[in-house]
Amino acid sequence: MIDIKNFSFAYSKTPVFDNIDLQFEKGSIYGLLGENGVGKTTLLKVISGLLKPTAGSCEVEGRKSFDREPEFLESIFLLPDELPLPDSATPERFFNEMAVFYPNQNLDMFHHLAQELQIDPSRKFKEMSFGQQKKSLLAGALALNTDYLLLDEPTNGLDIPSKADFRRILSERVGTGQTIIISTHQVKDVENLIDPIIIISNNSVLLNASVERITEKLFFEYGGQQRPDALYSEMMPGGFLNVLVNDGMGESQINIEGLFNAVLRNQSTVRTMFV
């Protein structure tokens, strides 16, 4: 479990988080959603021990991240949005060089994922498109097989078929016990993949809830008229999407962009609703 308590973080003069509490349970694929600049990368760096909390604590399995104990370092991998890749490097070499630090790494899994993602692990990164580089790194990161895998904006630069591959490959990790945190501002890319969903904004956590809990509290109505009591409405083919307070309306299918906009526009209402 990742346990963040009374946590604040600031870069010299830029406050990013102000006294937040956040827990990540083991074995789920979390979506960490927020607009550009809200602090998603910062939070992933704190969890992986690259940055120290300004106040409060961040612990993974009871170990303070910033202490960077060997058992902690073996259990977690952060794949950044962009990595400097040496000209002569290949995905295979990248994986082999990283693998020595991760005892559960799995070379067969790396080759299998590379095949599924249609990338050639022996090709130089510099001869690949940005999307192919990204997919190669993703295959490597998954095959390191760490207990905790943090993916920062992993769908940036992927084309539409690659985004579908990404969702398929990640969904295969459900039930493996691995905890994955995917940070993104492109919320549509992780629809039907992430559960629980975390939304951050304004130095704080606006929502941290399972899909089940969200659909208990909110109702997503598709088609029909725009509703004046909706937390958020948007035109869609065949009428409107209305995000409503679920007043005994039953279950509905989450629309992630609708949820994101409803939460950002009704911050105090949503906070009270999910306390």
- Residues forming contacts to ligand ADP in the complex (CB under 6 A) are 11, 14, 16, 34, 36-42
The CA distance from 213 to 117, in Å, is 33
Choice between 42 and 162, CB closer to ligand ADP? 42
Name the minimum Å distance from CB 5 to ligand ADP: 20
**In whole angstroms, how far apart are CA 156 and each of 114, 132, 162, 182?**
18, 12, 11, 12
Q: CB of 69 within 8 A of CB of 233?
A: no
- Residue with Cβ nearer ligand ADP (2 or 38): 38
Question: Cα separation of 264 and 260, whole Å?
Answer: 6
Closer to ligand ADP by CB, 65 or 233: give it: 65
Our CB check for ligand ADP shows the closer of 10 and 245 to be: 10
Residue 10 CB, nearest distance to ligand ADP (Å)? 9
State the Cα–Cα distance between residues 134 and 81, nearest whole angstrom: 9
Task: Supply the minimum distance, in Å, between the C-beta of residue 44 and ligand ADP.
Answer: 8
**C-alpha of 198 from chain center:** 9
**Token output for 247:** 């007043």
Residue (38 or 182) nearer to ligand ADP, CB: 38
How near is the Cβ of 231 to ligand ADP at its closest, in Å? 23
Residue appearing with tokens 């809200």: 38
Q: Please, is 134 exposed, middle or buried when counting C-beta atoms within 10 Å of its C-beta (0-12, 13-18, 19+)? A: buried
The Cα–Cα gap between 155 and 39 comes to: 18
Note the residue count of the chain: 275
Nearer Cβ to ligand ADP (12/268): 12
> Which is nearer to ligand ADP, 36 or 88 (by Cβ)?
36
> Which ranges in the chain belong to alpha helices (H)?
40-47, 70-74, 91-99, 107-116, 130-143, 160-171, 211-217, 256-265, 267-274
The minimum distance between CB 31 and ligand ADP, in angstroms, equals 13
The nearest distance, CB 173 to ligand ADP, in angstroms, is: 22
State whether residue 57 is helix, strand or coil: strand
Residue 49 Cβ, how far from ligand ADP at the closest point, in Å? 16
